[in-house]
């Protein structure tokens, strides 16, 4: 019989974090729109920021879509297309390794910059520092789960356990027993990832949702030289 802690983490905890994400985001955009900013420290230090930010953003986008495919595409579908498990896992590890590696290198640079540069560190809030460390730890855990826990537990197939549980969250019937036998590194990675979602609206990360869509459809701004008198 599963422990009550398992039931809490795999039945209640995900919804607490997701509710915090949705309601926190709505409240921040509705009542504190001026605070939705990345608070750039580019003027204090630019070189490490540009390299780290580019690598991190490219990597995290690849990782995000990799997670979406891994969770939302059932094993039944790839089996129907005739894609063998070892080929699927080979591409998943390759893509995840590239995306996760880029995100890790970028986050290492950004975290080193934020803690080692005196001016950047002084301009950082406690939330900024926590976000950097949290993202770094979560990325490391994700890579460790894929390249250490996975090969160490050959009988474990996340597509038949973790991914199924994650999809069940969307229709409010998560079977927490699917997560009981999941390797610990995967569990910690999921807990940390959900925590980032939960605290997302209250940190600088919320700026990722403030995309300037108005630039797509706004009228062009015409600049004319002032006529000489």
Q: What is the pLDDT of residues 125-157, one digit of tens each?
A: 899 999 999 999 999 999 999 999 988 998 898
Domain 14-27+45-204 has CATH 1.20.950.20: yes
* Residue that wins the pLDDT comparison between 40 and 164: 164
Confidence of residue 35 (pLDDT cuts 50, 70, 90): confident
What residue spans define the domains of the chain? 14-27+45-204
Task: Write the CB contacts of 123 (distance below 8 Å, at least 6 apart in sequence).
Answer: 41, 44
Query: What pTM value is reported for the model?
Result: 0.87
How far is Cα of residue 138 from the mean position of the Cα atoms in its chain?
8
DSSP 159: G
């Amino acid at each position: 019989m599963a422990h009550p802690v398992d039931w809490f983490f795999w039945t209640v905890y995900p919804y607490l974090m997701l509710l915090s994400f949705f309601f926190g985001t709505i409240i921040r955009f509705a009542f504190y729109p001026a605070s939705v900013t990345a608070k750039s420290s580019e003027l204090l230090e630019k070189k490490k920021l540009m390299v780290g930010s580019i690598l991190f953003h490219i990597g995290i986008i690849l990782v995000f879509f990799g997670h979406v495919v891994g969770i939302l595409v059932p094993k039944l579908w790839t089996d129907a297309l005739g894609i063998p498990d070892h080929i699927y896992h080979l591409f998943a590890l390759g893509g995840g390794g590239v995306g996760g590696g880029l995100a890790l290198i970028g986050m290492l640079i950004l975290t080193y910059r934020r803690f080692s540069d005196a001016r950047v560190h002084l301009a950082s809030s406690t939330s900024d520092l926590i976000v950097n460390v949290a993202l770094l730890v979560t990325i490391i855990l994700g890579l460790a789960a894929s390249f250490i826990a996975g090969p160490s537990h050959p009988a474990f197939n996340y597509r038949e356990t973790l991914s199924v549980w994650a999809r069940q969250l969307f229709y409010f019937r998560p079977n927490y027993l699917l997560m009981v036998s999941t390797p610990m590194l995967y569990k910690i990675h999921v807990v940390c990832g959900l925590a980032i979602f939960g605290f997302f609206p209250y940190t600088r990360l919320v700026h990722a949702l403030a995309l300037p869509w108005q630039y797509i459809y706004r009228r062009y701004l015409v600049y004319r030289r002032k006529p000489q008198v």
